[in-house]
Structure 1
Amino acid sequence: MRAEAGRFATAAGSAVLAGGLVGDSVTGPGILAAVTAAGLGLAVNPRILRAPSYVKPTAIAVYAAPHTGAALILVGERLAPDTGVSLLVQMGVIAAWTGATWVIRPGRLARQVAEEAELQEAEADRTADDDSSTVAVPAEDPGESEAAHWWRTQIAVEGGIAPATVLLAHQRVSQQCVAAVIGSAQHGLPLPDISKARLSAHLDMPEDLIDIQPVPGRGAGVRLLVIGSRPKPAEPEQSTGDEAVWAEIAKTAMPGVELIEATTYKIRDELT
Structure 2
Amino acid sequence: MTRLGPLRGPIALARNAVGRAATVAGTGALAAGTFAPDAYATSITGTIVCAGWATLWSATLPRTPVGNTATALYLAPSWSLAGLLTAQHFVPGVDWWWQLLADAAWTVGVWKARPARSARVLVGREKSLTPTAIEESKEILAQDTVQGGPQHPMAAYWAQRVAIEDGAAPHTVLEQIVRTGPESMTAVIRSTLPGKPVPKIDLLELSAAINWPEDDIAITPVPRQGAGVRRLVIGQAPEQAMDLNTAWEKHIAPKGMPGTVITQIRTVDIPDPEEEGAKELRA
TM-score bracket for the superposition, by shorter chain length: 0.3 to 0.5
Query: Which structure would you say has the larger Rg?
Result: 1
Higher relative contact order (CA 8 A, sep 6+): 2
